[in-house]
Structure 1
Amino acid sequence: MFSHVMLGASDLDRSKQFYDAFLGALGAKPGFTDPKGRTFWRHAGNTFAITRPINGEPATFGNGSTLGFAAASTEQADAAHAAGIAAGGTACEDPPGWRGDAATGQLYLAYLRDPAGNKVCVLHRPPKPAA
């Protein structure tokens, strides 16, 4: 359904440092910056990017918005969360851990905000048991 996700950032260097660490823990290579100043990360067939808003206004985060990133394991989710915090992110919501119930299923979630205030989540969905 999606071709890419792009978020606004006013301090591109700080945001690149954050996402290089955060996405690196999920297996992505460091982002590359194009001549227009946009930085892109490509991994596992997906594209994520940051840019200054083209209207010249300061970047703002979407209140109520969350961008989710997949993790292969709880350890990888924890590593991405820790890398993001170490690179200037801020913990938010509950600490990383399992959430859900029998109706929705169990998910391992780790939330944080990037340096621009965008809320991101690392999600690990355990494999379904064999029937």
Structure 2
Amino acid sequence: MSGRAGGCLCGAVRYRLRAAPEQFGACHCTICQRISGGVNLSFNVAAEDIDVTGLEAVRTYRSSDWAERSFCGTCGANLWYRGLGEGAGYSLGLGTLDDKSGMVLEREICIESKPDTYALAGDHPRLTSGEAFA
């Protein structure tokens, strides 16, 4: 669905998507747990399919040898995760969307790190880290 838009909590950073999937994923890895405070819900967008305004407010942290995570330097809201490779797209936080209607949970990854205290409903693939990154 094209035309989706979103941004951070304070509005300093905004984005508009030219094309966006109607599916999102859930990651239970320990890095995502620490960044999000729990399960990380996100969807992927190609770099050429997003226009971002307010880049001066974006702060970026290199969270591993292969990726970086960005957040709003004003309100602290998590924005996206990006691989460091050429042409890497964005993995945007589901909660940053203005309108999440129609979005469907596609899969969960890193389920071996998921706390036992919750389970996401639905019939979708649940992959270990090994399976997801093979």
Q: TM-score, normalised by structure 2?
A: 0.31
The alignment's TM-score, normalised by the length of structure 1, stands at 0.31
Higher strand share: 2
Larger radius of gyration: 1
